Amino acid sequence: MRVVLQRVSSASVSVEGRTIASIGQGYLILLGIAPDDEEAAAEYLTKKIAHLRVFEDEAGKMNRSLLDVEGAALVVSQFTLYADTRKGRRPAFVGAAPPDVARPLVDFFADRLRAFGIPVQTGEFGAHMQVALVNDGPVTILMER
């Protein structure tokens, strides 16, 4: 399971010109699922994400978590995080889970974040999406389990 986590002032997802999800302060989470990923990986990553201290406190130090700032999360399924570009000029995506494996894990991941009391919105699985964001900092973190 791979996560690209971006601290944002705002983020949104549109499909066919229609905004389907948007958040203010929080995280845009691009989530890639591998064929052998299990719920345990989602449990680990969501706990880490909820408590990760990357928001600034009064002294300007990254010392506050998403829970501390009462932020939200926008979770977007992103199979291209498993692109293999070692050969040729066209990426291969054989390292990404097929939709019947990935979709339930993406839903489980979002639900686990919600269990922490985090407001969560999601993209549309399998759709061609336009993702807009204002990366705050910028802060972008790669996580893997």
Tell me: the pLDDT tens digits for 94-122? Answer: 999 999 999 999 999 999 999 999 999 99
What's the confidence (pLDDT) of residue 126? 94
Q: Please pick, among 6, 46, 55, 78, the residue that the annotation labels catalytic.
A: 78
**Which parts of the chain have pLDDT scores under 50?**
none
Q: Which amino acid is at 67?
A: L
The confidence score (pLDDT) of residue 22 equals 98
Tell me whether residue 109 is one of the annotated catalytic residues: no
Q: Quick one: pLDDT at residue 11? A: 98
Measured between alpha carbons, how far is residue 141 from residues 19, 30, 50, 92 in Å?
25, 11, 14, 23
| Number of Cβ within a 10 Å radius of residue 4 | 16
Active site annotation includes 19 = no
Domain 2-139 has what CATH class?
alpha beta
User: Which of 19, 80, 130, 140 does the annotation list as catalytic?
Assistant: 80
Catalytic residue list contains 121: no
Contact 10, 60 (CB under 8 A): no
Instruction: Choose, from 6, 46, 79, 121, the residue flagged as catalytic.
Output: 79
